[in-house]
Amino acid sequence: MFFARLRKDIAAAKRNDPAARSKFEIWLTYSGVHALSWHRWANRLYRMHLKLLARMTSQWAKFLTGIEIHPAAKIAAGVFIDHGAGVVIGETAEVEEGVVIYQGVTLGGTGKEKGKRHPTVKKNATISCGAKVLGGFTVGEGARIGAGAVVLKEVPAFATVVGVPGRVVRINGERTQDLVPEKEDPMLKELCALRERVYELEDEIERLKKQENL
C-alpha cells in the first residue's frame, strides 16, 4: 500500500513538473514527495492513537522538507506539492487525487472553532503560490486558486479564484459577474479625495510663490 501510494505521488510529480527528468530523480530530490511519504507514516501512527509520536514525526518532516502537514489530515495518493517551502496543511483538511499545491500555500482555519475547520480540496484542483484557503468549505473539482489569493468561502467546480478576498472570475473558462467589486470602499474613496485635495493645495502654493517673485 505504501509503495503504491508513493508510485502515484512520483507519477503526479512527473506529470505536473516539466523540469522532472526521471522518476528516480523525483524520488531522491523532491521535498513534496518526501513530505507526503512522511505524512503517510505520521497519519498511520495518529490512527493507531500514537498521537505524540505522530506529531513528532510530522515535525521532523517539517524540519527536513519545510512542509508542515498535521498527521490527521487526509491526503490521497497522487497529490503533487511543487517546491513546497512554507506549505501548511491543517488537521481537518482533505486533499483528493490530482491536486497540485505550490509553495507558500496554507490550507488552514479561521479561528479556534471545533470540528471541520479546514478546507476540502477536490480532485485536480490547483492552488497557486502563496494562496491561503481558510475555513471548512469545499474547493470544487478542477478549480484554480490564483497566486496570493485569500479564499474564505466555497469555490465551485472548475472555477478560477483571484484576489483578496478571493472572488470567482471564471467558471469553465467563462467570465463571471464577480469581476465587478461587490461594493465601493468608502475608506479608499476618502483617501483618494484627500490626495486630490493635497495636489490642489500644492498647485495653489506654487501659484502664490510665483506671484511673490513677480
Give the number of C-alpha atoms closer than 13 A to the C-alpha of residue 172, restricted to the C-beta side: 1
Q: Domain limits of the chain?
A: 2-179, 183-214
Task: Pull the grid cell for residue 187.
Answer: 475608506
Per-residue pLDDT of the chain (214 residues; tens, 9 = 90+): 777 888 888 888 888 888 888 888 889 999 999 999 999 999 999 999 999 999 999 999 999 999 999 999 999 999 999 988 899 999 999 999 999 999 999 999 887 777 889 999 999 999 999 999 998 899 999 999 999 889 998 999 998 898 888 888 888 877 766 544 445 567 667 777 787 788 788 888 888 877 777 6
Rounded CA separation 157/150 (Å): 17
CB 122 within 8 A of CB 78: no
Cell matching residue 186: 468608502
Q: What is the pTM of this model?
A: 0.76
Q: Which CATH number fits domain 2-179: 2.20.25.10, 2.160.10.10, 3.40.50.300, 2.40.50.100?
A: 2.160.10.10
Torsion of CA 186, 189, 190, 191, to 10 degrees: 120
Residue 125: what residue type? A
